[in-house]
Amino acid sequence: MGFTQLSASEAESKQDSNLENKQDSKQDTEILKIENAWVRSVLPVQRSTAMYMTLTNHSSTAVELLEVTLDIAKHSMMHQTVEQEGVSSMKHQSSITLAPKQTVEFNPGGLHVMLMGLNHPVSEQQVVNGVLHFSDGSKQKFTVPVKSAE
Ligand SMILES: [Cu+2]
């Protein structure tokens, strides 16, 4: 029964995507420019990893990023690594606002997207699907390669 339901909904979504092709390309409008994005590969026993990237707001209005979700992780959170008196810890960032023309870098030792509850091993050569979620309700899809940290 499960199989029948799956194929029915698959056929339906294919039809939908054909009908809404024009609308889809509108929805995928680039809100932020994403460069140098990568997810750190981890050993199969590890349950979390991080994603890094450079985001640029080329528009003339401020953009507030609320969340970055990836299909490999159950939970994700924007973190800032901070070092206080030699002890490094991670602070949760509930949102990041990019002023017009501003660039924000996510990199090891700084801002990163923490990915928790990995669904399966995250290894090199993989390409992962993700979505940026903005405060005005808009979304931007992207793909990101998995790389080793070296
Ligand atoms: Cu973190």
Cα(4) to centroid(ligand 1), Å: 41
Tell whether 46 and 115 lie within a shared domain: yes
Q: Using pLDDT thresholds of 50, 70 and 90, give the confidence band for residue 48.
A: very high
Q: Which of 16-20, 50-54, 111-115, 135-139 has the lowest mean pLDDT?
A: 16-20
Domain that holds residue 39: 31-147
Cα(96) to centroid(ligand 1), Å: 15
Tell whether 11 and 75 lie within a shared domain: no
CATH number of the domain enclosing 137:
2.60.40.1890
Tell whether 23 and 38 lie within a shared domain: no
| pLDDT tens digit sequence for 104-129 | 999 999 999 999 999 888 999 899 99
Mean pLDDT for the stretch of residues 3-7: 44
Phi/psi for 7 (5° steps) reads -70, -35
Tell whether 80 and 143 lie within a shared domain: yes
Question: Which amino acid belongs to residue 103?
Answer: T
The pLDDT value given to residue 47? 92
Count of domains for the chain: 2
Tell whether 58 and 9 lie within a shared domain: no
Tell whether 130 and 104 lie within a shared domain: yes
Q: Using pLDDT thresholds of 50, 70 and 90, give the confidence band for residue 133.
A: very high
Cα(46) to centroid(ligand 1), Å: 14
Cα separation, 36 vs 81, whole angstroms? 19
